[in-house]
Homo-oligomer: A and B are copies of this chain.
């Protein structure tokens, strides 16, 4: 009988969030689970790492499970680095991050702490998946997510991942019977139209809250936004080679001498 896979679980909503508790439950059906996750919410942290401050790890027991769990004072990317270098005694076979409370589809991948953990694992050569549910509520219902999370993780454990690629999985906020299936997609070209909420402090000084409206500029039927709007789970293969290879030839025509 083959050895059970070793699965590292992390997230960006913090180690006690219902999303990661669901993810731990599902992963325990597939392998031996170790949890290293932030001790507090780290949403929108992008790919931040902690270089000018100390990092603290704490062994914790959140629920009755027997999986080792560590809460970490750092970012999601820090959690992965610490797990691989200081906690695990071998490289994990899979790193999963999430389930995020809220979408990380299209351009949100850039701002996402959930996906930064998956990307960090990918950079270290570990197959990795970020999962997100399109419901920002703390008490979101993760039940429908469970079977999709399991199917996708099983495929990664069985097939491996293409080199230098991780998966960005988003799940529509629907009952399971309403979800039509899983679609492999590309990232939609969308952005946020910011609207700053300008206020005054009690002392009369201006300050701002960042708010905004999500605008999808891309009506392709092969995008993650299309899949989610049409009741599919979206799976986008994501790479960390950001080179726009198609532009190199064009830039070589520029003249840098005058």
Contacts and interface: CB of A to CB of B under 8 A. Distances in A.
Given A45-B46, A237-B248, A238-B243, 14 more contacts: A46-B46, A46-B47, A46-B116, A48-B111, A55-B209, A56-B205, A82-B208, A86-B208, A110-B240, A151-B256, A155-B254, A164-B189, A182-B256, A186-B245
Interface of A: 41, 43-52, 54-57, 77-78, 81-82, 84-86, 107, 109-111, 116, 119, 123-124, 151-152, 155, 159, 162, 164-165, 168, 181-182, 184-187, 189, 191, 194-196, 198, 205-210, 235-248, 250-252, 254-257
Contact of A206 (B57, B185, B195): B57
A49 B243 contact: no
Contact of A81 (B46, B47, B210, B252): B210
A112 to B, nearest CB: 9
A interface SS class = mixed
Given A56-B207, A85-B195, A244-B165, A48 B45 contact: yes
A190 to B, nearest CB: 9
18 contacts: A44-B48, A44-B51, A44-B52, A47-B110, A47-B111, A55-B207, A57-B206, A85-B195, A107-B240, A110-B119, A110-B240, A151-B256, A186-B241, A187-B243, A236-B242, A237-B243, A237-B251, A238-B243
